[in-house]
Structure 1
């Protein structure tokens, strides 16, 4: 594959759309997880009495459901990514690959 083919692939609107959507999705989900995790760490560092206080009047403290919530959120975000990737990004990826293959095979046809 020569430089002109690579440039045509990089300039392909479908390829640019696919890259843009994947980048936007991954950064959005990363930002959500980072915000929640850093918020929890700040809570641990600056408000230990709240985390040590009882959740329901018993022995369960607020730290336990919040910590479990972060773990559950990570699984939910993985599910969201999988759902969007399978239903939105995969069809776009297939269309993009068809166009890229056509560009890559043009040189051999000449």
Structure 2
């Protein structure tokens, strides 16, 4: 692509809409992940006994294990949510912008 196409894309209002939507969504998911990690760290700092409590009296597993695994899985889930939206809505907007510019 040459410079004029790049300039047309950047001047396109749908491109600005795409960038704004993508940024808002990425910041939202980042804030959710940061909140989860912050909550986990605060739990470690102020209530470590909760993480050290056994799930049941005869179980060797404490609550820290499923909570930690859940935190890791939440990162995968949020990534999957972003990829799903990126491959759907964001790609459709991108293709529409490219069609407009190439005409």
- For the superposition of Structure 1 and Structure 2, which TM-score range results when normalised by the shorter chain? 0.7 to 0.9
Residue ranges of structure 1 left out of the alignment (5+ in a row): 103-110
> How many angstroms does 1:12 deviate by?
1.8
Taking only aligned residues, the RMSD between alpha carbons, in angstroms, comes to: 1.7
Maintained 8 Å contact 2:44/2:51: yes
> How many angstroms does 1:99 deviate by?
3.2
Task: Write out per-residue CA displacement over residues 12-54 of structure 1, whole angstroms, 9 at most, x where no aligned residue.
Answer: 2111110011101101110110000111011111111111111
Query: Radius of gyration: which is bigger?
Result: 1
User: SS in structure 1 opposite 2:55?
Assistant: coil
The separation in 2 between residues aligned to 1:100 and 1:35, in whole angstroms, is 40
Residue ranges of structure 2 left out of the alignment (5+ in a row): none
The separation in 1 between residues aligned to 2:78 and 2:96, in whole angstroms, is 26
* Number of positions where the alignment pairs a residue of Structure 1 with one of Structure 2: 99
> How many angstroms does 1:101 deviate by?
4.3
User: SS in structure 1 opposite 2:62?
Assistant: coil
TM (norm. structure 2) is 0.85
Match of residue 93 from structure 1: 94
TM (norm. structure 1) is 0.80
